[in-house]
Chain A
C-alpha cells in the first residue's frame, strides 16, 4: 500500500501541479507537431511517418526519463533520496518508483498513441500496428526511466548524473543507429511495419533494463540508509 502512496504522490506532482500541467502541455504540443509532421506525403522511400514515430519515441522517452531522474523537478514530488529517510521499506520504495514510472510512462504513451493511430489510419495501416508501436514507446520509456532512477541513487553529482543520463541515452538512440541497422533497436522497432520479433526483443530488453535497474535501486537503498543514519 505504501508503494501505491508513492505512485499517487508522484502522479499528483507530475500531473496536478502547475509545472506538471505545463510539462504535459509542452509534451502534448510536441506530440501534436509530430503528428502534423507525419501527415507529409510519402516521397521516395522516406516516409514522414517514420520520422514522426521516432520523434514520438524521443519525446516520450525524454519526458518520462527526465521525470524519473529528477531532471524536471515537480513541486512536491519525493525523489528516491527523499524517501530514504521515510519509514517505507527499500522494496516498497523501489516498487513505488517502478510503478510510478510505469504509470507516468503509460500516461505519456496514451497521449501519443492516438497520433500513431491517426498516422496509421492515414496510410490505411492496421490499428494493431499503432498498438505495437505504443508498446515499444511504453517499454523503452519505462526502461530508461528505471535507468534514470538508478542513476539518481548511484551518482551523487548532479552534473555527472545529467551527463551520464543524457549522454547514455543520446549515444544509445543516435549512436546505435550509426553503428549498424539493428532491427531490435528502439529507433527501428518503433518504425511502421517493423518485424514483430524485433519489437518483442526491444520491449523485452527495456523491460529487463527497467527491472534490473529498479532491483539495483532496491539493493542500493539500505546502503544509503546506513550512510544517512551512520554518516558524520
Chain B
C-alpha cells in the first residue's frame, strides 16, 4: 500500500474543525478504552466450584468439591460451603480459613457429603466481618446421581459394566490431574481409577499423597499405556513392566482383538493369564490393589473378567450402632454458680438491713448475678453434652487413617460446641437444625444448633502419616507382630483368627493358636464399618486388630504384608 492511497488523512488535508473534533475524540477514546480495560486490569472477585467426578455424584458418601476463588482485594476470612441436608430442614456449613492478598487466587479440594439432590451446594468467600466477597452455587442434578463411578485419566474412555453390583448405574468420569482430590476421603465415591495418561507434574504433593493413601487403604487403580518411567507415583502404581514388545491377538475372552503389550510382573505382581498370555498383572499396595492391563482400556469389553477382577463390590458402609447416650445434668458448675449468687445475696441483704448503703452492695450483687448467669448457663450447657466416640484407626505402611463416629444428645435447646481432632472430612446427621464445621489448623470445631432431646451424629476422618508403624509379618504358619503392648490383640487371616501372645523377644507378639474366625467378633465387626469387604482383605493377608490403648474407645487395625 502506497502512502497516498491510504485512508488515513494527512495533516495538510485536515480542516481546523476536523482537527478539533479529532482532538476531542482522541482523549475520549483513550478514556473509553481505559474504562473497557478496567475489569481486565482488576479482575473482580469470583468463585468457581465443581462438585463430584466430572459432574457425577454418589449421594450419601464423600464427593470431591473443587473450589477456585480469586479476590480483587485482600481477604482474610472463610471459604464457606453450605450443604443442604435432606428435606432442606437442616444445613451443614463447612468453613475453611482464607487469607488471600489483593489479586490472589487459591484452589481448595475438599470432600463433601452430599445427600440432597434438590438443593444447591453454595460456596462463598466471606470476610472476617461477615461481608460476602463472592459466591457461586452448584446444583447436583438428580440424573447425575449414580451408584458407581470409574474415574479415567486419558483420551478414550473405556466401557466398564454399565451396572454396579448393587444394581445402580455405573458411569465413567473423565478426569484431569488438576481435579484429583487432596484427601483420601474424597475418593470414597470412586470405585476404580483407570490411568492411561498421567502427568505427575500437574499434581501437587497433597494430591499425590491422597492417591497413595486411598490405594493403601483399599483403593484400586488400573494402569495401562506407558506411564512416565521414573516418575515416583507412576512407578508406585505400576504392577508390571512393559517389555516394549506388542503382539496382535484375537479370540481372547477378556480383551478384544488388537495389540497386546507384553508384561513382566514386578516383584509382588501376580499375572492374570488367558491362553498362556499375560493379559493383566495385579499387585497389592497396602489394603488396595494396582492392576496393569496389557491392552488399552477401550479394548476391554464391558463383560470382561478384567473389570470384575478390578472393580470392588459396591456395598454401602454402616457405622457402629448408635449408643444409648443419655445427657447428664451437670450439677457441679450450676451448684457453684447459683450457690455463689445465693451467698453473696444473703450477705448483701444482711449489710443492707444495717445500713442503707448496703442496698448498693445488693444492687452490685444483683447486677453481677444478671451478667454472670448466662455465662454459667453456657458453661453448664457445654458440659452437659459430650460426644460418645467410637474410633477405628487403620495403619497401613506409613499411611494412617482414622474413622470416628460420635453421638451426642442435647439436654436443652441451644447451640453446642464439639471439638474434634484435625479431621479432613466431617459429616453431621441426626437431630440438629444448623451445624457449622470450622476446619482450623490444629482441630475442627463443630457448632450445632440442637433442640431439646435431639441426637446429633458426627462422622469424621483423620488422615496423616503414621509415626512408628508396628510390623505384621507372616512366618511359618504364625504371624509376628512387633509393636508396643497389645494384651488383647487378635489376628485375622483367611477364615481363622488367633490371639496375640507375648513372645520371648521384647515388643514382639506371636499369633499361633488358630481357630475358626468368629464373624461376630467385635474387632471384625468394627473392621466391616470401615471396609465392608473386610472378609476379602483378611482373606489375602493377616490383619491385626487391637483395642486402642490411648484412652479412646475403638480399635487399631494394622494391615500386614502379603505372604
Binding site for B on A (CB under 8 A): 11-12, 15-16, 20-21, 24-25, 28-29, 31-32, 35-36, 39-44, 47, 107, 110-111, 114-115, 117-124, 127
Instruction: Provide the main secondary structure of the chain B interface.
Output: helix
CB distance from A17 to the nearest CB of B (A): 8
Partner of A42, one of B354, B362, B369, B411: B411
- Bound-complex Cα distance A39 to B337 (A): 12
Flag if A39 contacts B334 (CB, 8 Å).
yes
CB distance from A198 to the nearest CB of B (A): 22
List the count of A-B residue pairs having beta carbons below 8 Å apart: 101
Tally of B interface residues using CB under 8 Å: 39
Partner of B452, one of A12, A24, A107, A123: A123
CB distance from B342 to the nearest CB of A (A): 4
- A120: B residues at CB distance < 8 A: 377
- B362: A residues at CB distance < 8 A: 110
Flag if B353 contacts A12 (CB, 8 Å).
yes
- B342: A residues at CB distance < 8 A: 28-29, 31-32, 111
Given A41-B327, A118-B338, A121-B378, output 11 extra A-B contacts at Cβ < 8 Å: A28-B342, A31-B342, A35-B338, A36-B338, A39-B334, A41-B411, A110-B362, A117-B370, A118-B376, A118-B377, A122-B414
CB distance from B351 to the nearest CB of A (A): 9
Partner of B412, one of A20, A28, A42, A111: A42
- Bound-complex Cα distance A121 to B415 (A): 11
Q: A32-B342, A39-B380, A121-B378 are in contact. Are A114 and B412 (CB under 8 A)?
A: no
- As a 0/1 sequence over residues 449 to 465 of chain B, the CB contacts with chain A under 8 angstroms (1 = contact) are 00011000000000000
What would be 17 A-B contacts, judged by CB atoms less than 8 Å apart?
Answer: A11-B353, A15-B350, A16-B354, A24-B349, A25-B346, A31-B342, A39-B329, A42-B412, A111-B342, A114-B338, A117-B370, A118-B374, A118-B377, A121-B374, A121-B376, A123-B412, A123-B414
- A127: B residues at CB distance < 8 A: 374
Binding site for A on B (CB under 8 A): 326-331, 334-335, 337-339, 341-342, 345-346, 349-350, 352-354, 362, 366, 369-370, 373-374, 376-378, 380-381, 384, 411-415, 452-453
Flag if A42 contacts B453 (CB, 8 Å).
yes
CB distance from B209 to the nearest CB of A (A): 43
- B412: A residues at CB distance < 8 A: 41-42, 122-124
Nearest 5 pairs of A and B residues by beta carbon: A16-B353, A41-B411, A121-B377, A42-B452, A114-B369
Flag if A28 contacts B378 (CB, 8 Å).
no
Flag if B345 contacts A36 (CB, 8 Å).
no
Q: A41-B453, A42-B453 are in contact. Are A24 and B346 (CB under 8 A)?
A: yes
Flag if B345 contacts A28 (CB, 8 Å).
yes
Q: A39-B329, A42-B453 are in contact. Are A32 and B338 (CB under 8 A)?
A: yes
- A24: B residues at CB distance < 8 A: 346, 349
- Bound-complex Cα distance A167 to B346 (A): 30
Flag if B345 contacts A15 (CB, 8 Å).
no
Flag if A15 contacts B373 (CB, 8 Å).
no
- B381: A residues at CB distance < 8 A: 122
Q: Which residue of A lies closest to B333 (CB)?
A: A39
Instruction: Pick the most buried of A21, A117, A118: most chain B CB atoms within 10 A of its CB.
Output: A118
- Bound-complex Cα distance A117 to B373 (A): 7
- A35: B residues at CB distance < 8 A: 334, 338
- Bound-complex Cα distance A42 to B412 (A): 6
- B350: A residues at CB distance < 8 A: 15-16, 21
Flag if B374 contacts A117 (CB, 8 Å).
yes
Flag if A114 contacts B370 (CB, 8 Å).
yes
Q: Which residue of A lies closest to B342 (CB)?
A: A28
- A121: B residues at CB distance < 8 A: 373-374, 376-378
Flag if A124 contacts B349 (CB, 8 Å).
no
Flag if A20 contacts B353 (CB, 8 Å).
yes
- B349: A residues at CB distance < 8 A: 15, 21, 24, 107
- Bound-complex Cα distance A36 to B366 (A): 19
- A15: B residues at CB distance < 8 A: 349-350, 352-353
